[in-house]
Amino acid sequence: MNRLHAGLTVAVAVKAGLSNALREVLRENNAAPKIIRPDSYLQVTNPGNGLRADMNPMGISLPYSAMKLNPPASELICNFDNSPTTLFVSMVMIPAQHYCGQQLPETLIFATTYWGKLSGHLQDLFDTNGAGLCRIFQHCDGFPDGTLVNKESLISYLKSHRHSGAFNSRYTGYTKADIQQEKEMRAAIEDYLDLLQNTVDLEQYPADQRAIIVKTLVQRHIKAQVDRFRWIREGTRDSPREFMVKNRVIIVSVLSIIISLVVFAIADPASIGWVLSLMLGISIALTISITRNCWKPVIMGLLINPILGFIIRKKQLTAARPPDQKVQAAAASQLRPVINEMTAAAPLKPGFLRRHFYWLALRLVNFGRSQLMNVPTVSSLRWLSIDNKKRLLFLSNYSNTTDFYVREFLTGNTPRGVNFMFSNGCGFPDAEHMTKGGISRDPEGYMHVIHHHQHITDLWYAHDYEITIDQIKRNRKIRNGLFKNMNEKEAKRWLKLF
């Protein structure tokens, strides 16, 4: 079974004159939780929507617009809760931008994070949300006439406008059903632990056995609900395919070493010995650097430095601070208490070589994404090059608010990788060899350009708006440890997961 996560990103130009109509359709059908802005509180004299003024026990005056309920699921043209393969969806309209005197069109971005095969995900999208997607994409260039749309034509349209880049999900291998079931399992165990605390005197048991006893009682409680929790005993280990994809950089490096050694042993050293020695040296260097987490200087030295010197020879201007109104509007759209999203798009800096180098670099990064694309608070993220390799696109789903999230990129070794991914975009601070300095040398300029190129997402969906990546992984540890034999010390560690 393939439970690996992947990203589908569709970018298509919006038809002239239909941008307002498309934005209205998207925002009217945005099922993400509405945000109450603390800077815009107004006294509500006519709450509406069945809400009463006395339902505000804190005495806070709420804005009328903030108290508007989300549309009922039955009224949504796209209800991604019905799609079992879909984890996240972002639909955002990127405005027209300029690249070297050429106008890049206003573009609709449709980005999903899903698990399983792409073919299965596309089939799932059509089965659960085909009519709604057709209604949305009819505002875009090249979409077939409404009377001609069927499964084949919609899937063909999505594939023909699909873009690939660098994508990573920090909990790849978890299905949508897994996450929901494990969340319910945790809640059930927590309720039972609360009951035990109020009804069972644990002091009667030896101190060095209490954790084991509590864990045994929890096991009995779960076993008693066999129909509800039968799935807990099913395996969660990676399949061979999942293991190979997650560790493919190391696997390829090790295989290169083995092949080099075998060929070196049977071939004539005088004829090809120096070639094999070079291959062997590179393979060993890559393997050691990745396993010891010092891959960046090795890869930069071996593969990239000669090219970067030519690409970044011309200095570019860093973006100025955008108007306060734009910063506030973007920040106000990302104040949900747990999970938020972010979309940024900017033209690439000039240069034919830069365009193609960045496009290729994203694919190389994607190959080693498990080792190269890890940000602690991120659920999923992607970098792409769209519009014939002339525009940089970044999308992310993360916990925390935007300012705290993007400032995390300024800590530790993260700035090197972020420099490499972002410094090719117009307005981003220049970085030496695309890794040194840059955002860490000019953090104010970095924040300015993020705010300048950040775009409000018109429609956003998350499989769960109130669970972080750390909670998802903790729930999996609870599941894996529930029926595992443990000593007292191990049982205590397991109970601390709650």
Give the predicted TM-score (pTM) of the model.
0.79
Asked if residue 194 belongs to a domain, the reply is yes
Q: What pLDDT, on a 0 to 100 scale, did the predictor assign at position 239?
A: 74
pLDDT at 45: 35
31-40, 116-125, 234-243: range with lowest mean pLDDT: 31-40
Kindly state whether residue 433 falls inside one of the protein's structural domains.
Answer: no
pLDDT band at 364 (very low <50, low <70, confident <90, very high): confident
Note whether residue 50 is domain-resident.
no
**Of 442 and 113, the one with more pLDDT:** 113
**Is the pLDDT score of 248 beyond 80?**
no
The per-residue b/e assignment along 49-64, b for 16 or more CB within 10 angstroms, e otherwise, is eeeeeeeeeeeeebee
Give the per-residue pLDDT at 434. Answer: 59
Residue 10's pLDDT band (boundaries 50, 70, 90)? very high
Range 394-413 average pLDDT: 73
Tokens 């040194």 locate to: 436
The answer to whether residue 389 scores a pLDDT higher than 70 is: yes
Residue type, 117: K
pLDDT number for residue 150: 87
In a domain, 414, yes or no: no
Domain carrying residue 472: 176-237+468-495
Do residues 402 and 424 touch, judged by C-beta distance below 8 A?
no
Is the pLDDT score of 369 beyond 90? no
Interval 325-363: pLDDT, tens: 877 787 777 777 788 998 999 999 888 888 888 888 888
Q: Which segment of 106-115, 267-276, 448-457 scores lowest on mean pLDDT?
A: 267-276
Question: For residue 230, is it within any domain?
Answer: yes
In a domain, 18, yes or no: no
Number of domains forming the structure of the chain? 1
Mean local confidence (pLDDT), 65-69: 38
Domain membership of residue 352 (yes or no) is no
The pLDDT value given to residue 254? 73
Mean pLDDT of the chain: 78
Residue 271 scores a pLDDT above 80: no
Which tops the pLDDT comparison, 266 or 461? 461
Say if 231 falls within a structural domain.
yes
